[in-house]
Amino acid sequence: MGQVMVVSSGKGGTGKTTLCAGVASCLAAEGCSVLCIDADVGLRNLDLSLGMADSAIVSFLDVMEGRSSLDDAPASREIPNLRVLTAPMNAEPEDLDGDAFSALLLEARKKFDWCLIDAPAGIGAGFRFAARYADAAMVVSTADLASMRDAARAADALAELQITACKIAVNRVTPRLNGQMRTTVDDVMDSVGLPLLGIMPEDHAVTLAASAGVPLILYTNHGAAEACLHLARRLRGIKVPLMRLK
Ligand SMILES: Nc1ncnc2c1ncn2[C@@H]1O[C@H](COP(=O)(O)OP(=O)(O)O)[C@@H](O)[C@H]1O
Ligand SMILES: [Mg+2]
């Protein structure tokens, strides 16, 4: 059975979509079959980070309501093991049928090794819809206090949903900060109460790859892209040392 992992944060703009796309691409590039679901209803942009803006035409609502099947989820041209379902643009999270989404995820577990859900910011209805039926969570935070505090609230909300396999990824780490990283990581673990999955450096390539419409890991294999590979390998149970930034 495949694993369903929700990528959440509390605060917006911490890098959920970037990490969801990057980690999903790496899992797929290393041979896993992966389904990405954009659950940021009304604001979708996961398809851009996957370099699939033109081809991502099936939404998870299309599958939930029987207009399409999981087999119709478009595959990436460059990374064929990777498929995506976009978020519906004209729906409210409150109106979405949780049972139908749960059924979709049940089928996804049978067909894919991994299913990554890109959650909306916050801990409201959209977050609960995205997270409720997941097996695990990756909480994305930057190293600033506001982001960490919101990550802690997201961790509490995940615990309320009985999702206990939660880890944190700290994004936009700079070399200067990395010198103090032990303290920062300890702070994160203390305040958020989650073990560290990994760090991702601040990297211009993230923006450049997205504006070129190319998946980050095909744009470069250093920096943020390498960090995604490390995260993906750790998710698969492979030991990878914590990244050193130069
Ligand atoms: N490691 C990084 N280095 C540089 N820019 C980044 C990094 N991670 C994210 N960004 C940029 O930050 C913005 C927000 O990222 P995004 O993944 O959309 O966040 P979220 O999905 O949490 O709202 C985007 O413009 C993205 O390109
Ligand atoms: Mg996003």
Task: List the domain boundaries for the chain.
Answer: 3-235
Q: What is the 3-state secondary structure (H, E, C) of the chain?
A: CCEEEEEECCCCCCCHHHHHHHHHHHHHHCCCCEEEEECCCCCCCHHHHCCCCCCCCCEHHHHHCCCCCHHHCCECCCCCCEEEEECCCCCCHHHCCHHHHHHHHHHHHHHCCEEEEECCCCCCHHHHHHHCCCCEEEEEEECCHHHHHHHHHHHHHHHHCCCCCEEEEEEEECHHHHCCHHHHHHHHHHHHCCCEEEEEECCHHHHHHHHHCCCHHHHCCCHHHHHHHHHHHHHCCCCCCCCCCC
184 pLDDT band (50/70/90 cuts)?
low
Q: Is the confidence at residue 98, as pLDDT, over 70?
A: yes
146 pLDDT band (50/70/90 cuts)?
confident
Tell me what pLDDT residue 182 has. Answer: 57
Which residues does ligand 1 sit against, CB inside 6 Å? 9, 12-18, 171-172, 200, 202-203, 206-207, 210, 224
Ligand 1, pocket-test mutation among 8, 9, 17, 18, most atoms within 8 A of CB: 18
Please check whether residue 169 is in contact with residue 198, taking contact to mean a CB–CB distance below 8 angstroms: yes
Q: How far is the CA of 15 from the centre of ligand 1 (A)?
A: 4
Please check whether residue 25 is in contact with residue 231, taking contact to mean a CB–CB distance below 8 angstroms: no
179 pLDDT band (50/70/90 cuts)?
low
Q: How far is the CA of 118 from the centre of ligand 2 (A)?
A: 7
Over residues 3-12, the pLDDT tens digits come to 999 999 988 9
Across 101-120, average pLDDT: 98
177 pLDDT band (50/70/90 cuts)?
low
* CATH for the 3-235 domain, from 3.40.50.720, 1.10.10.1590, 3.40.50.300, 2.40.50.140: 3.40.50.300
**Atom of ligand 1 at shortest range from CA of 140:** 22
**Atom of ligand 1 at shortest range from CA of 49:** 17
Nearest CA to ligand 1 atom 14: 13
Which range is least confidently modeled, 49-63, 132-146, 183-197, 223-237? 183-197
Q: Is the confidence at residue 246, as pLDDT, over 70?
A: no
Across 53-62, average pLDDT: 93
Ligand 1, pocket-test mutation among 45, 206, 230, most atoms within 8 A of CB: 206
Q: Is the confidence at residue 92, as pLDDT, over 70?
A: yes
Share of the chain above pLDDT 70, in %: 94
